[in-house]
Amino acid sequence: MFRGLPARYDRLAEWLSFWQNRRWRAALLDAISAADPRLVADVATGTAGVALALHARTGAAVVGFDLDEAMARQGMRNVRTALGRRAVATGAPPSARRRSVAIAVARAEQLPLADHSVDALSFTYLLRYVDDPEATLAELARVVRPGGVVATLEFAVPEDPLWRALWWLYTRAALPLGGLVTGGRPWYRVGRFLGPSITRHYRRYPVDWTLEAWERAGIGEVSVRRMSLGGGIVMWGRRK
């Protein structure tokens, strides 16, 4: 699914979302940074965009996990480049350039972390890709300390009928064509896949179900923010 995407992923993700992806990320960062964490896990980290933003915003050490090896390798390259630039900009000596953002290949359903070992956890565009979203949420919650924050962002289906119709046209027609023009056949495949996958997911797991699943996983005080006319959704809560 992600073959051929990593090198241009960050740029095209912004273009094809009309730069809404960065707004959704900012809302997720707000939720995580409010907890002042020292160690954060970023699951489905992809090319490490969220992981790097979390480190820049909070100063926390961040460990990112992704199942796709090519995406993880691109994430590692992005980490080396970004942290090198920051070190030069701040005048830090080589000895101070510790690796404060790490990337590893792992499944969200089986994280290589101890119970209650991180202060916060973020995950992005994840639950549509797992066989059992509820079991995955329980695994994500397992590694967060009591009182720690869990936050996510995901695509969504607009509730308003007019915007939902326009969203449907965009995701079924304009998005595949835009992906083909800007990124070639790999992005065309993603464009064709994305809209139907979002629709299928929410048909089976609506937002109300997801909220209840968070509670069953041990995450309380859950808040929901719909963004971009309902095309994106950010959720966050605290580990009980």
What is the SS3 assignment for the chain?
CCCCCHHHHHHHHHHHCCCHHHHHHHHHHHHHHCCCCCEEEEECCCCCHHHHHHHHHHCCEEEEEECCHHHHHHHHHHHHHHHHHHHHHHCCCHHHCCCCEEEEECECCECCCCCCCEEEEEEECCHHHCCCHHHHHHHHHHCEEEEEEEEEEEECCCCCHHHHHHHHHHHHHHHHHHHHHHHCHHHHHHHHHHHHHHHHHHHHCCHHHHHHHHHHCCEEEEEEEEEHHHCEEEEEEEEC
In a domain, 198, yes or no: no
Per-residue tokens: 63: 């460990």
User: How many domains would you assign to the chain?
Assistant: 1
pLDDT in tens, 148-179: 999 999 999 999 999 999 999 988 988 888 77
In a domain, 1, yes or no: no
CA torsion, points 203, 205, 208, 213, in degrees to nearest 10?
170
**Structural domain harbouring 66:** 6-158+206-239
In a domain, 167, yes or no: no
pLDDT value of residue 96? 43
Q: What is the CATH number of the domain that holds 71?
A: 3.40.50.150
pLDDT in tens, 195-236: 899 999 999 999 999 999 999 999 999 999 999 999 999 999
Average pLDDT over residues 61-78: 93
In a domain, 142, yes or no: yes
In a domain, 50, yes or no: yes
pLDDT in tens, 103-137: 999 999 999 999 999 999 999 999 999 999 999 99
- pLDDT band, very low/low/confident/very high, at 78 (cuts 50, 70, 90): very high
pLDDT in tens, 10-45: 666 676 677 888 899 999 999 999 999 999 999 999
In a domain, 127, yes or no: yes
In a domain, 177, yes or no: no
In a domain, 39, yes or no: yes
Cβ(206)–Cβ(126) below 8 Å: no
- pLDDT band, very low/low/confident/very high, at 187 (cuts 50, 70, 90): confident
